[in-house]
Chains A and B, each alone.
Chain A
Amino acid sequence: DIQMTQSPSSLSASVGDRVTITCRASESISRFLSWYLQKPGKPPKLLIYGASTLQSGVPSRFSGSGSGTDFTLTISSLQPEDFATYYCQQSFGVPRTFGQGTKVEIK
Chain B
Amino acid sequence: QVQLVESGGGLVTPGESLTLSCVASGFTFKNYYINWIRQAPGKGLEWVSHISFRNSYSFYTNYADSVKGRFTISRDDAKNSVYLQMTGLRGEDTAVYFCARQPDYSNAYFDYWGQGALVAVSS
Please report A residues at the B interface, Cβ cutoff 8 Å: 1, 32, 34, 36, 38, 42-46, 49-50, 55, 87, 89, 91, 94-101
Contact = CB atoms under 8 A, between A and B. Distances in A.
B44 interface: yes
Contacts of B112: 46
Contact of B46 (A46, A50, A91, A98): A98
Interface string B44-66: 11110010000000000011110
Which among A44, A50, A99, A101 has the greatest number of chain B C-beta atoms within 10 A?
A: A44
Contacts of B107: 49-50, 91
Q: How large is the interface on B (under 10, 10 to 19, 20 to 34, 35 or more residues)?
A: 20 to 34
14 contacts: A34-B110, A42-B115, A43-B98, A43-B113, A44-B113, A49-B109, A89-B109, A89-B110, A91-B108, A91-B109, A95-B47, A95-B62, A96-B47, A97-B47
Contacts, number: 57
Contact of A87 (B45, B50, B64, B98): B45
B112 to A, nearest CB: 8
A85 to B, nearest CB: 8
A46 B110 contact: yes
Nearest to B64: A95
Given A87-B45, A96-B47, A100-B44, A46 B109 contact: yes
Contacts of A1: 65
A-B pairs with the 3 shortest C-beta distances? A91-B108, A43-B113, A34-B109
A96 B113 contact: no
A14 to B, nearest CB: 26
B1 to A, nearest CB: 12
A95 B64 CA distance: 6
